């Protein structure tokens, strides 16, 4: 019986590396895709590319997998990085979803509240009204 091939996008990050390690212990064949080639040192089949740019490497990595787990991201609350974060979290995710749909691949997507972006409100995205006493 062949092992199911799982691609962990963001596989060198905090969450992705733990998912990859767990799935390897469960006897899956793991590949990781990361933007940082220097972090790819666990012996997994590795790909390096910018998911926001898409390209042949992203498509090849997805094509060679049975399941894609997308947990790539960058945590930053700096207004200076707003465009970069949008490119990574939105454009990158759109590229991954489009390729998975086209190649009929299963996709698991992880996210957090950080993808909501940076609020223009100094108190965050929550606006509550207290009753007058």
**Residue ranges of the domains in the chain?**
5-116
Spatial CB neighbours of 7, under 8 Å, sequence gap ≥ 6: 31, 32, 33, 61, 62, 64, 65, 67, 68, 69
Task: With cut-offs at 50, 70 and 90, classify the pLDDT of residue 2.
Answer: confident
d(CA 94, CA 75): 18
Query: Which residue did the predictor score with more confidence, 2 or 64?
Result: 64
pLDDT at 113 over 60: yes
Query: Residues 8-61: pLDDT tens digits?
Result: 999 988 899 999 999 999 999 999 998 776 665 577 888 887 787 766 789 999
Spatial CB neighbours of 43, under 8 Å, sequence gap ≥ 6: none
Whether this model's pTM surpasses 0.85:
no
The pLDDT of residue 107: 97
d(CA 52, CA 85): 10
Query: Residues 82-106: pLDDT tens digits?
Result: 787 778 888 889 999 999 999 999 9
Q: Does domain 5-116 have CATH number 3.40.50.720?
A: yes
Nearest to 73 by CA among 37, 116, 44: 116
From the centroid of its chain, how far is CA 45? Answer: 17
């Amino acid at each position: 019986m062949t092992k199911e091939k799982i691609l962990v996008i963001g596989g060198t990050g905090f969450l992705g590396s733990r998912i990859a390690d767990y799935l390897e212990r469960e006897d899956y064949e793991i590949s990781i895709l990361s933007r940082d080639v220097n972090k790819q040192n666990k012996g997994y089949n590795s790909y390096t590319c910018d998911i926001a740019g898409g390209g042949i490497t992203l498509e090849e990595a997805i094509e060679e997998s049975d399941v894609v787990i997308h947990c790539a991201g960058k945590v930053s609350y700096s207004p200076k990085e707003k465009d970069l974060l949008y490119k990574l979290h939105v454009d990158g995710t759109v590229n991954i979803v489009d390729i998975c749909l086209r190649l009929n691949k299963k996709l698991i997507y992880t996210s957090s509240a950080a993808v909501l972006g940076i609020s223009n409100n100094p108190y965050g995205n929550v606006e509550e009204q207290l009753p007058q006493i």
